[in-house]
Amino acid sequence: MIKSDVRAGFELPPVTHQVTRSNIVRYGRLVTGFNPLHDDDEFAQELGFEKIVAHGVLHLNYISEMLCCYAGHPNRVKKIYIDFVKAVYPGDVITARGVVREVREEGAAMRIVIDVWSENQDGVRVIDKGTAEIEAG
């Protein structure tokens, strides 16, 4: 982490990935799937969605990836609180973003509080009202 990057208003380098159907299938195989919303197009459509919906935590990882890159080490990422506000579909291109809200000194360390969110290819937020905290030495 570069010192000049640790200040309120600093925009973290964003992280962008396309969520493919293959990502969703692979993710669903790893974690005990119980919700057909993630693998059954017909079921998803009956509930009013266009097609299967990506697991929220799958693309939430784009936010933790962004935070970890900024922090410089996995153990410095301390907290993420977020709302999932919109469905992510196969093919969507999701960008995780963050802006430093506050830098606090806590003893010898620093606590960096960051506003985080994600948006799709149309600029519509899919994760919103996020707060993250990382520690810097």
- Cα end-to-end span (Å), the chain: 10
Rounded Cα gap, residues 52 and 43, in angstroms: 8
Residues 51-80 that bind another protein (CB under 8 A): 55-62, 64-65, 67-69, 73-75, 77-80
Q: Is 31 in the site for another protein (CB under 8 A)?
A: yes
Which is closer to another protein, CB of 7 or CB of 131? 131
Residue 93 binding another protein, by CB under 8 A:
no
Binding positions for another protein, 107-126, rule CB under 8 A:
none
Strands 15-18 and 93-106: antiparallel
Residue 9 Cβ, how far from another protein at the closest point, in Å? 24
Nearer to another protein, 7 or 45 (CB): 45
Q: Got the DSSP string for 104-137?
A: EEETTEEEEEEEEEEE-TTS-EEEEEEEEEEEE-
Q: Which helix (H) or strand (E) holds 52?
A: none
The answer to whether 8 contacts another protein (rule: CB under 8 A) is no
**Do 110 and 104 form a contact (C-beta atoms < 8 A)?**
yes
- Contact residues: another protein, CB under 8 A: 17, 23, 26-27, 30-32, 34-35, 37, 47, 55-62, 64-65, 67-69, 73-75, 77-85
